[in-house]
């Protein structure tokens, strides 16, 4: 298994012949195998750029991204991706989409086994009975469930998710977050047996609910400051997590206040400086 991620002094510059734009500069962090880390930060700070490097679709201008100690040189079945935009094949049913991913990941499977396994993955994401629907016949939330089933079917060790629930209404978003937690935490899985997940989001609450750690990126294009790591926070809450208990826990509230001060740039004005220091030191 090659699941640790190491990003070392990563700089990414977009060039179109006439112009150069530095989107990320000197970004470094590491992730343990089986860790779920959220990347948060305002629009344009380089979150998707970072994910595209980890996916292998974009090369660093300098620095490197390593997975399992090896530089990422292109897309790999080891790394499954779920995007914000619904990315299902519109001409295939839900079952067809998941079965197609299985065909790519496990070409030796017989058709009957493939369909059986595809059905199983759809059932895991709560879509039993929807196998024969085409994407246009599914709600946004259901389409994202198929995308998650497809990523499960690919069974890569690493899951890269770019605002996967960004376009979903609040209730369905909560259901999908719970589903992701349940699938990732697994039933009795040891932390190191879990998938390594990089989860991009704008939503601080979503990041806290899901993550072991949160990487906050920031950028200021108007002042020519490229995306860089502002802070890395360890979420001081154990897994498995349950939304209901978490939202009522004092540790959650204190941590949320501390990080939101920094996230929303109100650090100086805050009356919660003390709490912040206490929580972040814990
Ligand atoms: N192909 C490209 N050519 C030039 N600049 C680009 C290109 N793609 C992205 N950028 C710029 O790089 C910066 C980072 O973009 P990126 O898409 O990574 O941001 P993001 O953090 O994912 O934003 P959002 O939250 O809105 O999705 C932005 O300023 C963007 O305009
Ligand atoms: Mg983006």
Q: Residue 56: which CATH number?
A: 3.40.50.300
**Which residue among 23, 57, 58 has the greatest number of ligand 1 atoms within 8 angstroms of its CB, and so is best to mutate?**
23
Global model pTM greater than 0.85: yes
Residues with C-beta less than 6 Å from any ligand 1 atom: 14, 21, 23, 41, 43-49, 202, 221
Structurally, the chain folds into a number of domains equal to 2
User: By three-state DSSP, how is residue 88 classified?
Assistant: coil
Q: Please name the residue whose Cα sits nearest to atom 28 of ligand 1.
A: 44
Q: Please name the residue whose Cα sits nearest to atom 5 of ligand 1.
A: 14
State how far the Cα of 201 lies from the Cα of 35, in Å rounded to an integer. Answer: 16
Q: Are 158 and 67 in contact (CB under 8 A)?
A: yes
Structural domain boundaries, residue 48: 5-238
Q: Are residues 192 and 81 in the same domain?
A: yes
Q: Are residues 102 and 34 in the same domain?
A: yes
Which pLDDT score is estimated for 252?
95
In a domain, 243, yes or no: no
Which pLDDT score is estimated for 231?
95
Q: Are residues 118 and 84 in the same domain?
A: yes
Closest-lying ligand to the alpha carbon of 39? 1
Tokens of 55: 């996916």
State how far the Cα of 214 lies from the Cα of 216, in Å rounded to an integer. Answer: 6
Q: Please name the residue whose Cα sits nearest to atom 29 of ligand 1.
A: 44
Q: Are residues 65 and 182 in the same domain?
A: yes
Please give the number of the atom of ligand 1 that sits closest to the Cα of 49: 18
Please give the number of the atom of ligand 1 that sits closest to the Cα of 200: 22
Who contacts 206 (Cβ-Cβ below 8 Å, separation ≥6)? 38, 165, 173, 177
Q: Are residues 80 and 179 in the same domain?
A: yes
Closest-lying ligand to the alpha carbon of 47? 1
Which segments of the chain have a pLDDT < 50?
A: 267-275
Please give the number of the atom of ligand 1 that sits closest to the Cα of 41: 21
Tokens of 197: 């997940």
Q: Are residues 256 and 205 in the same domain?
A: no
Q: Are residues 208 and 255 in the same domain?
A: no
CA triple 272-28-20, angle to 5 deg? 105
Which pLDDT score is estimated for 144?
87
Calculate Rg over the CA atoms of the chain.
19
For the chain, give the number of residues.
282
Q: Are residues 172 and 48 in the same domain?
A: yes
DSSP tally for the chain: helices H, then strands E: 9, 10
Max CA pair span of the chain: 62
Q: What is the DSSP letter of 5?
A: E
State how far the Cα of 171 lies from the Cα of 3, in Å rounded to an integer. Answer: 32
Please give the number of the atom of ligand 1 that sits closest to the Cα of 163: 27
User: Strand 213-220 vs strand 5-15: parallel, antiparallel, or unpaired?
Assistant: unpaired
**Which residue among 46, 51, 81, 230 has the greatest number of ligand 1 atoms within 8 angstroms of its CB, and so is best to mutate?**
46
Please give the number of the atom of ligand 1 that sits closest to the Cα of 221: 29
């Amino acid at each position: 298994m090659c699941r640790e991620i190491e990003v070392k002094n990563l700089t990414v510059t977009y060039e179109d012949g006439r112009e150069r734009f530095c989107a990320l500069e000197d970004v470094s962090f590491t992730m343990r195998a089986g860790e779920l880390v959220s990347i948060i930060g305002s629009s344009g700070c380089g979150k998707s750029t970072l994910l595209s490097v980890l996916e292998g679709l974009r090369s660093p201008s300098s620095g490197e991204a390593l997975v399992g100690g090896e530089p990422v040189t292109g897309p790999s079945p080891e790394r499954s991706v779920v995007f914000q935009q619904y990315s299902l094949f519109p001409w295939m049913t839900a079952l067809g989409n998941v079965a197609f991913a299985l065909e790519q990941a496990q070409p030796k499977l017989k058709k009957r086994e493939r369909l059986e396994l595809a059905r199983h993955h759809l059932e895991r994401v709560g879509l039993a009975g929807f196998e024969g629907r085409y994407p246009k016949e599914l709600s946004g939330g259901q389409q994202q469930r198929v995308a998650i089933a497809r990523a499960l079917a690919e069974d890569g060790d690493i899951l890269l998710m770019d605002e996967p629930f960004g376009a979903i209404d609040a209730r369905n978003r909560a259901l999908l977050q719970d589903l992701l937690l349940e699938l990732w935490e697994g039933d009795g899985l040891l932390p190191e047996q879990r998938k390594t997940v990089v989860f991009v989001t704008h939503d601080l609450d979503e990041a806290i609910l899901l993550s072991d750690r949160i990487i906050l990126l920031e950028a200021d294009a108007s002042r020519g400051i490229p995306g860089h790591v502002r802070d890395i926070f360890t979420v001081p809450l154990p897994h498995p997590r349950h939304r209901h208990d978490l939202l009522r826990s004092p540790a959650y509230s204190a941590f949320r206040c501390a990080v939101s001060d920094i996230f929303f740039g109100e650090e100086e004005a805050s009356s919660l400086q003390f709490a912040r220091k206490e929580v972040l030191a814990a």
